[in-house]
């Protein structure tokens, strides 16, 4: 007999009734394409480890070496005494790679977005956002108490109309925030058009490129590089290490002045313990790989896997999203249907979690297929054949 309040139990039952109930599973072993869950072996196609670096030997060794030198915990926030030489080296290496004056580390990508938006937006200025932005960008605006309006997904005309009206209403700069690669759809934001628009309206463009950095573009510099943009075009760039970098944590790349401003006014930065130096050591090794010939080869392999998958799946009677990235959504619409197809795939040894509201808009439940440079064509063929069988029996 539960002692929980009735309203808690009712909310849980409602989630179950709507086929929206969520729960964790326990994976044994390292983050690799072949995983063991509930004592069964699966091929995983839902990880954000796009380059397959999460278990790279060089990074495992770097984490071990860093822990021996600097310990595991940082012990304090960056502004107390938690900012050690590993943190500083990573910030400088990222700034050099990306072409920014400064980089600041955050413990998570969610905190980075909260910290930047809450510092730069508020009651005196507004924030304009894409309809499909990540939840952390939306939450950041709400935390700041900022006036927020959202434009139609990747629609420059809609964005321009809203941004122009905002600019006329306030004294401080408007923030325009967007994902670089949209996490649930895999499509790219029209960054060049947005950058030009922001310059014309004296607005600040903020790009969360969590799913683009390291794995998109020849250099790995993500969505900005794909459109030829620089730090001048994108004053605030957020990146995470938990995706293609294969570790954990996040950063903001910006100017010296903006970094000083965030140091004074970004509460998640000021009041949070710094990243583990051991993780920072592993991330430095990851960045070295990403910038090397090996990193280029991994990006080429990922691109080949994406092309192979899209060509193979195009023969199936399914709705595949318009994505050229590692994120390949298969749109199913109904949440119960998405769960059924996901469960059918599990019987074929494929692990791909159904994505349902509120993570995605109502009526747009899907399978979010994610590809890695560590997948091979045989594994992808098994996925496509399994999808064919699952779709054929979905009703």
Strand partners, 130: 151
Q: For residue 395, what pLDDT is reported? A: 56
Interacting residues of 226 by C-beta distance below 8 A, sequence separation 6+: 188, 212, 216, 217
CATH of domain 25-50+293-392: 3.90.1150.10
Exposure of 31 by Cβ count < 10 A (0-12 exposed, 13-18 middle, 19+ buried)?
Answer: middle
pLDDT digits (tens, 9 = 90+) for 344-370: 999 999 999 888 888 888 888 889 999
pTM for the whole thing?
0.93
Q: Which fold has domain 57-290?
A: 3.40.640
pLDDT digits (tens, 9 = 90+) for 80-116: 999 999 999 999 999 999 999 999 999 999 999 999 9
Q: In this structure, are residues 133 and 113 in contact, taking their beta carbons and an 8 Å threshold? A: no
- Biggest alpha carbon distance in the chain? 62
- Per-chain mean pLDDT for the chain: 93
Q: In this structure, are residues 294 and 57 in contact, taking their beta carbons and an 8 Å threshold? A: no
Q: For residue 394, what pLDDT is reported? A: 61
Which residues belong to the active site?
A: 183, 211, 243
Q: For residue 99, what pLDDT is reported? A: 97
Q: For residue 128, what pLDDT is reported? A: 95
Tell me which H or E stretch contains 104: strand 102-106
Task: Name the phi and psi angles at 369, rounded to 5.
Answer: -70, 130
For 35, 338, 359, 372, the CA distances from 25, given in Å and listed in that order, are 12, 18, 18, 21
Please give the radius of gyration of the chain, using alpha carbons only, rounded to the nearest integer.
21
Distance of CA 263 to the CA centre of its chain: 24
Q: How much is the average pLDDT of 221-246?
A: 97
Alpha helices in 134-213 (DSSP H): 135-144, 156-169, 191-200
Q: Would the pLDDT of 285 be above 70?
A: yes
Q: How do 236-240 and 204-208 pair as beta strands? A: parallel
pLDDT digits (tens, 9 = 90+) for 260-271: 999 999 999 999
- Across 37-41, 121-125, 159-163, least confident range: 121-125
Interacting residues of 185 by C-beta distance below 8 A, sequence separation 6+: 132, 321, 323, 327, 329
Distance, in Å, from the CA atom of 230 to the CA atom of 363, rounded to the nearest integer, reads: 37
Tell me which H or E stretch contains 385: helix 377-392
Q: For residue 392, what pLDDT is reported? A: 72
At 229, is the pLDDT very low, low, confident or very high (cuts 50, 70, 90)? very high
Fold matches, 25-50+293-392 and 57-290: no
Sign, CA torsion 288/293/295/296 = positive
Distance, in Å, from the CA atom of 227 to the CA atom of 229, rounded to the nearest integer, reads: 6
Interacting residues of 87 by C-beta distance below 8 A, sequence separation 6+: 74, 78, 105, 274, 275, 277, 280
For 17, 220, 323, 386, the CA distances from 217, given in Å and listed in that order, are 43, 5, 15, 30
Percent of the chain exceeding pLDDT 90 equals 72
| Torsion on CA atoms 280, 282, 284, 288, rounded to nearest 10 | -170
Q: Would the pLDDT of 381 be above 80?
A: yes
Structure tokens, 250: 């996040």
Q: For residue 24, what pLDDT is reported? A: 85
Domain ranges of the chain: 25-50+293-392, 57-290
Q: Is residue 204 classed as helix, strand or coil in its secondary structure?
A: strand
Exposure of 183 by Cβ count < 10 A (0-12 exposed, 13-18 middle, 19+ buried)?
Answer: buried
Q: Would the pLDDT of 167 be above 90?
A: no
At 277, is the pLDDT very low, low, confident or very high (cuts 50, 70, 90)? very high
């Amino acid at each position: 007999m539960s002692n929980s309040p009735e309203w808690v139990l009712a909310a849980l039952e409602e989630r179950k009734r709507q086929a929206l109930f969520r729960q964790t599973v326990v994976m044994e072993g390292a983050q690799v394409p072949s995983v063991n869950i509930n004592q069964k072996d699966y091929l995983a196609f839902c990880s954000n480890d796009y380059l397959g670096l999460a278990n790279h030997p060089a990074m495992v060794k770097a984490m071990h070496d860093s822990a021996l030198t600097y310990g595991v915990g940082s012990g304090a926030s960056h502004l107390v005494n938690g900012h050690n030489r590993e943190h500083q080296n990573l910030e400088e290496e990222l700034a050099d790679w990306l072409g920014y004056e400064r980089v600041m580390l955050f413990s998570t990508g969610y905190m980075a977005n909260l910290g930047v938006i809450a510092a730069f937006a508020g009651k005196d200025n507004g924030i304009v956002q894409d309809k499909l932005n990540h939840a952390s960008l939306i939450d950041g605006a709400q935390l700041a108490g900022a006036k927020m309006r959202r434009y139609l997904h990747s629609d420059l005309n809609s964005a321009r109309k809203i941004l122009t009206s905002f600019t006329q209403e306030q004294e401080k700069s408007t923030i325009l925030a967007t994902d670089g690669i949209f996490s649930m759809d895999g499509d790219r934001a029209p960054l060049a058009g947005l950058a030009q628009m922001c310059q014309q309206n004296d607005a600040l463009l903020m790009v969360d490129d969590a799913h683009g950095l390291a794995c998109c573009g020849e250099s790995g510099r993500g969505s900005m590089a794909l459109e030829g943009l620089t730090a001048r075009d994108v004053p605030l760039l957020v990146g995470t290490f938990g995706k293609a970098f294969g570790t954990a944590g996040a950063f903001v790349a910006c100017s010296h002045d903006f970094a000083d401003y965030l140091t004074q006014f970004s509460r998640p930065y000021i009041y949070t313990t710094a990243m583990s130096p051991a993780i920072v050591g592993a991330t430095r090794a990851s960045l070295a790989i990403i910038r090397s010939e090996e990193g280029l080869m991994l990006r080429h392999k990922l691109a080949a896997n994406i092309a192979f998958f899209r060509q193979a799946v195009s023969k199936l009677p399914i709705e595949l999203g318009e994505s050229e990235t590692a994120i390949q959504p298969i749109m199913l619409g109904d949440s119960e249907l998405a769960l059924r197809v996901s469960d059918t795939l599990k019987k074929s040894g494929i692990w791909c979690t159904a994505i349902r509201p509120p993570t995605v808009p109502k009526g747009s439940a899907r399978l979010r297929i994610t590809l890695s440079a560590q997948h091979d064509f045989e594994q992808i063929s098994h996925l496509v054949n399994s999808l064919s069988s699952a779709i054929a029996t979905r009703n």
